[in-house]
Chain A
Amino acid sequence: MSGVPFLLPVDWWALGAVIALSGGAMALLLLEFLPHGPESNRAALVSLVTLLAAGASVFVVRDSRRALFDGMFVHDGITVFFTFLFCAIGILSVLLSWDYVKRTRINRTEYYALLLSSTLGMVIMAGSNDLITVFLGLELMSLALYVLVGFRRSHLESNEASLKYFLLGAFASGFLLYGIALLYGATGTTNLQKMTAVMSDSPMLENPLFVVGALLLVVGLGFKVSAVPFHMWTPDAYEGAPTSVTAFMSAGAKAAGFAALVRVGLSTLGAVRTDWVPVLSAIAILTMTVGNVTALLQNNVKRMLAYSSIAHAGYVLVAIVAGGRDGASAALFYLAVYSLMNLGAFGILTLLGRGTEERVLVSDLAGLGFRHPGLGIAMTVFMLALGGIPPTAGFMAKVYVFGVALKAGLVPLVIIGVLNSVVSVFYYLRITVAMYMEEPQAEPTHVSWAVPGALAVLAAVALTLWWGVQAHALLDQAQRSVLGGM
């Protein structure tokens, strides 16, 4: 204990994103003291600048690898990749929220402060090399999200969603924490590298503490990525939350949960990979099947996309089951593409409706493709991408995930995954059919055009198509990140 120096030297650049995001969140809270009108863009602007600064600070040191605070936080390829991804998700979410929060009258500084804090939690989760930091990052992200989900206080659905998410989330956090405690009891450390070292010295599979601890860890993280059977909260939380928040959490929270899983999978669980394959395979199969089959039955687009996001978690789990560097880079690639498609699809939903009304039923989309050709084309692109149809990035992501799984010899998983993709095309195309081939029954849905939101959707469309054609750029990036991360 006396061997620890009083203050460890810290590389501040490697912590740049963390510092920028926490500073931005606190600055926003302080800004609240200065007077501003209800239509003020100040908070949104500050958060945009903060997110850009966080991304830029990581860009400066993108090639260096460092372990900070005695290995609590590592700055490596995976951290850089996910920090960029989370900053991009944050920027798109802020743009989507810009007019949506004013329209629905939840334009408050705290909204953006919580958004930044949540992003900070995600970055910490991606960069943490210690189970304590993983847990703290997860809590920071989740606490902010619980409040954001319930931000439309006057809506009962929003309150219900927030309460449900909070109670189940607290329960899952308990599981995770108990798992961490048991793993600490079994190995004597919470550091992932040291844990791997301990495990290679002594076989841990006979140790019930370790087995139960690792299972609880998977349960806790599985909840955050909404893997079946821990997915119950997802449709309600996604439906009740303000649509801009749904976009943010569907992309960000899932990617962060998988970031932690990738890290644990690469180091600790990777050492005992063969023993986890059956467990994770079962979860992956359940997740894909339940998500896709239930999505078929939904009439609410938000709920449908929620079940679709469960199904996509299943595809990423296939990559995690495949394991190793290839599996990890496939997961990273899939997560980036998935975040983009999902942000775009939810982003279009934020534009629908007038004032505080929500027009998110499939029937509300009827005829939209002809009245607003731009929106129709964008939505079609996202639906094709989510379904995994060729010219889009979604196709490349699926090809790569299933390719890696085939190489790892997981033929049954791949067959089930492909069958699921075929099922999913049906409900994605249902939306396209509604937009182009149905007449609106009641009053046609009003589209609240807004420049920032439209810009975000446009960026998502462009990148979805670009990465579909030029998948190599992103793929190389993901592979290099994973190589740097090990």
Chain B
Amino acid sequence: MTILFAGLAAVLVVSSLMVILHKNPVTSALFLVLAFCSLAGIYLTLQAEFIGMVQVIVYAGAIMVLFLFVIMYLNLGRDVETGIQIAVRRGLGWIVGAVLLAEGAVMFGRRWGLGPVTPGPSRPPVGNTQALGQILYSRYLFPFEVTSMVLLVAMVGAIVITRGQERARRESMGTRAGARGPGGRPPRTHAEEAVAEPGLAPAAAGEPEEQASVAGSARP
């Protein structure tokens, strides 16, 4: 068990270091998957099977896929092509694919049929998951509920920051004049240009109150 722990811990430390040291964000994300998986392995050695599985499903599965989506959308990894050559990578891909295929074939051959091949030991009366659920809904009920509130606030916050884009852009017509007033810092012209897009002028013209505020605050 100690050897298993040492091995998993070593993989965890090395892959965590690679996450922050590697230049290519996609590779970093994949190392993060490896880190999550070895962490799940450590949970398994502690006989916390449920948490180990959840770690794989939620972190390595769902969250990492979202990370990768974002990275792919941002197109960050295109120009960083260092490290292993394409051909070697492709070869590795073939080898790993073949190993997985062979493994699947073996499993398929051995385990076809309904139910387990060998009857497992009878389940203990209170399983890992059940105990976890009980403690989560009794002693840790309060932090559990507060966590849901934290998640709600995070979600609302993310929506507020992103959804306001349209309105904020229209309003920037008004604030552009306001930022030049004596109250604010000296204006930053390059950023203002970025905020106020020229194509938005007709949209603002559709709203008389916006126009009025521009005219009103532009006065010295």
Contact = CB atoms under 8 A, between A and B. Distances in A.
Interface of A: 1-2, 4-8, 22, 25-26, 29, 68-70, 72-73, 105, 108, 110, 113-114, 117, 120, 124, 130, 132-133, 136-137, 139-140, 143-144, 146-147, 150-157, 353-361, 363-364, 442-443
A69 B178 CA distance: 51
* Chain A CB within 10 A, most for which of B139, B150, B164, B172: B150
Q: Which of B153, B161, B185 has the most CB of A within 10 A?
A: B153
A355 B213 contact: yes
Interface in B57-88: none
18 contacts: A1-B126, A1-B134, A2-B131, A6-B138, A7-B137, A69-B141, A105-B174, A110-B159, A124-B146, A140-B146, A143-B150, A153-B161, A153-B164, A156-B179, A156-B195, A357-B181, A360-B183, A364-B183
Contacts of A443: 220
A156 B182 CA distance: 16
Contacts of B188: 156
A130 B141 CA distance: 13
Given A114-B156, A354-B217, 8 more contacts: A72-B139, A140-B149, A147-B160, A156-B191, A355-B216, A357-B178, A358-B184, A359-B183
B45 interface: no
B164 A361 contact: no
B140 interface: yes
B168 A140 contact: no
A235 to B, nearest CB: 12
A10 to B, nearest CB: 8
B216 A143 contact: no
A156 B168 CA distance: 11
Contact of A154 (B172, B181, B220): B172
Contact of A68 (B126, B135, B142, B164): B142
B154 interface: yes
Interface residues of B, number: 45
Ordered nearest first, which 3 A-B pairs have the shortest CB separation? Answer: A147-B157, A153-B168, A358-B183
A133 B171 contact: no
Contacts of B174: 105, 355-356
B27 interface: no
Nearest to A124: B146
Nearest to A38: B209
Contacts of B191: 156
B217 A147 contact: no
A391 B160 CA distance: 44
Contacts of A353: 183
B149 A117 contact: yes
A114 B157 contact: yes
A146 B171 contact: no
Contacts of B147: 136
A361 B185 CA distance: 10
Contact of A72 (B126, B143, B157, B171): B143
